Structure 1
Amino acid sequence: MYIVTLSYTRPMEEVEAVLDAHIAWLDTYFDAGIFITAGRKDPRTGGVVLVRDIDRDRLNAILAEDAFQAVAEYEVTKVNVTRATDEFAGLVGI
């Protein structure tokens, strides 16, 4: 699985201007079963998306479609989940 961390690089007004397009992008990949979970950082300086283990080139292509490319930088970390509590057992091996 991948942990994708977004950090805003532009003022919040610019982030808000592309928020609807970003949410539509999230919806597309949640519906496709590729995104596991997503949410804002607190304080609101960016966000985090958990992504199933897919080909890295495919992930890069998906990230390139995001409207937030204009207002954020992305850090991608691959994680091989081998242990989890009962509540998160479904994340093992994905």
Structure 2
Amino acid sequence: MYVVYLSYSRPVEEVEALLELHVQWLDRYFDAGVFIAAGRKDPRTGGMVLVKDIDRDRLDTILAEDPFVAVANYEVTKVNVTRAAEAFAALREV
């Protein structure tokens, strides 16, 4: 699985202007079964997306489609989950 951290590189007003399109992008990949979870950082300096284990080139293509690419930087970390609380046991197989 991948953890993708977004850090805003532009003022929040510019981020807000793209929010609806960003949510549509998120919905598309949640519906496709690619995204596992997503949310805002607190304080609101960016966000995070958990992505199932897919080909890295495909992930890069998906991230390039995000409207937030104009207002955020992305940090991608691949994680091999080996332990999880029982409620999240399925993450070991994602």
- TM surpasses 0.5: yes
Instruction: Kindly report which structure 2 residues correspond to 1:1-94, keeping only aligned pairs within 5 A, or say none.
Output: 1-94=1-94
TM-score by length of 1: 0.99
Identity %: 72
Runs of 4+ in 1 over 2 A off after TM superposition: none
Deviation of 1:87 after TM superposition, in Å, equals 1.2
1:45-65 superposed Cα distances (whole Å, 9 cap, x missing partner): 000000000000000000000
Counterpart Cα distance in 1 of 2:87 and 2:44: 26
Q: Structure 1: state its 5+ residue gaps.
A: none
Contact 1:80 1:93 in 2 (8 A): no
TM-score, normalised on structure 2?
A: 0.99
By how many angstroms is 1:93 displaced?
Answer: 2.5
Confirm or deny: 8 A CA contact 1:22 1:68 kept in the other structure: yes
For residues 7 and 87 of structure 1, the distance between their equivalents in structure 2, rounded to whole angstroms, comes to: 29
Provide the alpha-carbon RMSD of the alignment. Answer: 0.4
CA distance in 1, matches of 2:70, 2:32: 24
Q: Distance in 2 between matches of 1:93 and 1:5?
A: 21
